[in-house]
Amino acid sequence: MSGLVGRNLLAGAEPDVAADAGHPDPPPRMGFFTDTSVCIGCKACEVACKEWNSVPEDGLEFTGMSYDNTQQLGADTWRHVAFIEQRKPIGRAEPGTDHGESPGAASDGNGTDMRWLMASDVCKHCTHAACLDVCPTGSLFRTEFGTVVVQEDICNGCGYCIPACPFGVIDQRKEDGRAWKCTLCYDRIGGGLEPACAKACPTDSIQYGPLDELRERAALRVEQLHDIGVEDARLYGHDPDDGVGGDGAFFLLLDEPEVYGLPPDPVVTTRDMPSMWRHAGMAAAAMLGGLAAVFAVHGREGGAR
């Protein structure tokens, strides 16, 4: 651990996050690559997640928002499948190819192009996880696989992690006030198994494996989609130089991140804590210095009398 002295672990490049968290000789960092271009919106991932992790049902209310009845990630929704209907021109393969239309392509019957964007969202397991930084009890911890897990039996329900997350992932259950989120099935991957959601996905939209391998696979998939005319295909959360140091769970999107309800340029919310404390310390020192000067002046005036 001596090599960590002087390093700013709140932001910046972090190539070996598990070792820097104190794990000796950790295995390769594991993660998710979610390819939304092949998501069919079946919600098998949501069901598998709930069944394996005993996540309570979350109401399943009719929202009036297409087929999306869970709306967003939360304490009782660790995987959320978004349904986004768009009317816009669809990228198609070049003439003479057999790739057909781009993912999600359809027609409304009136000759208007439309498409469904379906995406299974999840905790990002950030390289720099602000939720972990602000936890006062150690309930949140970094695993040997580089993932971030909540130990619910240690959580005191303070809620500091909730506003700390730049993605709005982690949440508290109303019944007990404790924080809950995706664990990337820590109990399964420790035994060499796939996370439940990836195991259940029928199209391999959710892929699990070593993060470096997933990034290479994702880059090739983007090239393939560009080659068949899907120019909007792009990766989100894959870049180790982004505001959270890269995500342990990243995505292939077919439109801007905002369309999916994702922040375009997320930044770890604890990044500026050191400078904030320095400025606070300087302000406090200046205030104390001013008070000392006032008392010194009054003391001299009193002695003169």
Q: Is 123 known as a binding-site position?
A: yes
Q: Is 62 annotated as belonging to a binding site?
A: no
Residue 197 labeled ligand binder: yes
Residue 292 marked in a binding site: no
Taking CA atoms, 231 is separated from 90, 156, 214, 215, 255, in Å, by 10, 47, 21, 19, 9
Tokens of 77: 């929704």
275 known member of a binding site: no
Do the beta carbons of residue 123 and residue 170 sit within 8 Å? yes
222: annotated binding-site residue? no
User: Do the annotations mark residue 165 as ligand-binding?
Assistant: yes
Tell me whether residue 201 is annotated as binding: yes
The rounded distance, in Å, linking the Cα atoms of 12 and 272 is 12
Please tell me whether 182 is known to bind a ligand: yes
N- to C-terminal Cα separation, the chain: 61
CA atoms 189, 195, 199, 203: torsion sign: negative
Cα separation, 246 vs 266, in Å, equals 10
Distance of CA 137 to the CA centre of its chain: 22
The two tokens of residue 209 are: 């494996």
126 is in an annotated binding site: yes
Element (H, E) at 148: strand 148-150
Q: Smallest Cα–Cα separation from 253: which of 238, 239, 236, 240? A: 236
> What are the counts of helices (DSSP H) followed by strands (DSSP E) for the chain?
8, 11
Please tell me whether 106 is known to bind a ligand: no
43, 81 contact by CB (below 8 A): yes
161 is in an annotated binding site: yes
100 is in an annotated binding site: no
Give residue 217's region: left, alpha or beta (phi > 0; psi -120 to 50): alpha
Q: Does 32 count as an annotated binding residue?
A: no
Please give the single-letter amino acid code of residue 163: P
Q: Which long-range contacts (CB under 8 A, 24 or more apart) does 4-9 make?
A: 8/274, 9/128
Residue 147 among known ligand-binding residues: no
Q: For residue 93, what is the DSSP state?
A: P
42 annotated as a binding-site residue:
yes
Residues at the annotated binding site for [4Fe-4S] cluster? Answer: 39, 42, 45, 49, 123, 126, 131, 135, 155, 158, 161, 165, 182, 185, 197, 201
Residues at the annotated binding site? Answer: 39, 42, 45, 49, 123, 126, 131, 135, 155, 158, 161, 165, 182, 185, 197, 201
